[in-house]
Amino acid sequence: MAAVLDLTAPVPRHVEAQVRTALADTRVVAIVGPRQSGKTTLVRKFAEEDGRTYFTLDDEATRLFARNDPNGFLRGHDRAVIDEIQRAPGLVLAIKKSVDENRRPGRFLITGSADLFAGAIAPDSLAGRVQTIELLPLSQAEIERRPPSAFLDAAFSGTIPPGVQAITANLVERVLAGGFPEALARPTPARRRDWLTSYAQSLAEGDVVEIAELAKADMMRLLIEHAALMSGQLLNMSELAQRVGVDAKTIDRWLSLLGKIFLVSREPREGSSASR
């Protein structure tokens, strides 16, 4: 069985050095990834180490202030961390104005649990001013507090890296456990499954509805369940639509929404536009 993760002991993230490098020469650094992947923990560390003011837009009062008066919200803050910025898209233009007036690098470190530049926020809003870094849930190397793995590079070169046999011995358990810290902190597979089920439900009823004004949260939950069952397979849009009870165009649009919150990833099949 996969080991239980101790959340009281910080887990070093491999992207930390990349974020630090970006802050040294880029005005805005955006960390994006799914909820509960560790973005808040990481940016709070930067806030504490660098003396940055920390804001989270999951806080209702903070969110309302940022939405109603984005320029006033930023006034007086030379360097800041803004968590979950997709909840107040108007802040992006206020940040653009601020970093154009003061071009010093490392001004703002922002996070988003939705693809910041594939929704309400225009893709050119911060063009030339921002570096986007993706933070996914914990990798196996991070869980075991090891340096980044070179497994893929080695595998494509025809070499099996040392230690792979130890990992594959309980590969199924590791895959089912995933990399979300909160899930890994649960003591049994059943408790991890309960957390992951609740997580998917919360996204279907919360984030997806918020970014798309979607009224059919129950059908979105059903789509998530069936999409999970088809993971790694060639995507048959018509079959999935039949299972959920909507048309294929709706499924395509909903899968795009789930992609924006990093819940699914559609990979084109080589030589075609098909996805899996």
Percent of the chain surpassing pLDDT 90? 44
Query: How does 4-39 read in b/e, with b if 16+ C-beta sit within 10 Å?
Result: ebeeeeebebebeeebeebbeebbbbbbbbbbbbbb
Instruction: Report whether pLDDT(66) > 60.
Output: yes
Q: With a cut of 80, say whether residue 106 has pLDDT above it.
A: yes
pLDDT for the residue numbered 229 = 84
The answer to whether residue 209 scores a pLDDT higher than 70 is: no
0.95 exceeded by pTM: no
User: Which one-letter DSSP state was computed for residue 174?
Assistant: H
pLDDT at 120 exceeding the cut of 60: no
Q: What is the mean pLDDT of residues 125-131?
A: 88
Worst-scoring range by mean pLDDT, 44-48, 60-64, 218-222?
Answer: 218-222
pLDDT tens digits along 182-205: 999 999 999 999 999 898 888 877
Residues 11-25 have a mean pLDDT of 96
Domains of the chain, by residue range, sit at 16-134, 186-260
113 pLDDT band (50/70/90 cuts)? confident
Of 30 and 211, the one with more pLDDT: 30
From the CA atom positions of the chain, what is the Rg in Å?
A: 20
pLDDT for residue 274 is more than 70: no
Higher pLDDT, 216 or 139: 139
Token pair, residue 138, equals 């914990």
pLDDT band at 263 (very low <50, low <70, confident <90, very high): confident
- How many CB atoms lie under 10 A from the CB of residue 57? 23
CA distance 38 to 16: 11
- Kindly indicate whether the domain formed by 16-134 is annotated with CATH number 3.40.50.2000: no
Which letter, b or e, does each residue of 189-216 get, where b requires 16 or more Cβ atoms within 10 Å of its Cβ?
eeebeebbeebbeebbeebbbebbebeb
User: What does the pLDDT read at residue 208?
Assistant: 72
**Position 276 pLDDT exceeds 60:** no
| Res. 275 pLDDT band, cuts 50 70 90 | very low
Residues 232-262 pLDDT 10s: 788 888 999 999 888 999 889 888 888 888 8
pLDDT of residue 161 exceeding 90, the answer is: no
Query: What is the model's pLDDT at position 165?
Result: 57
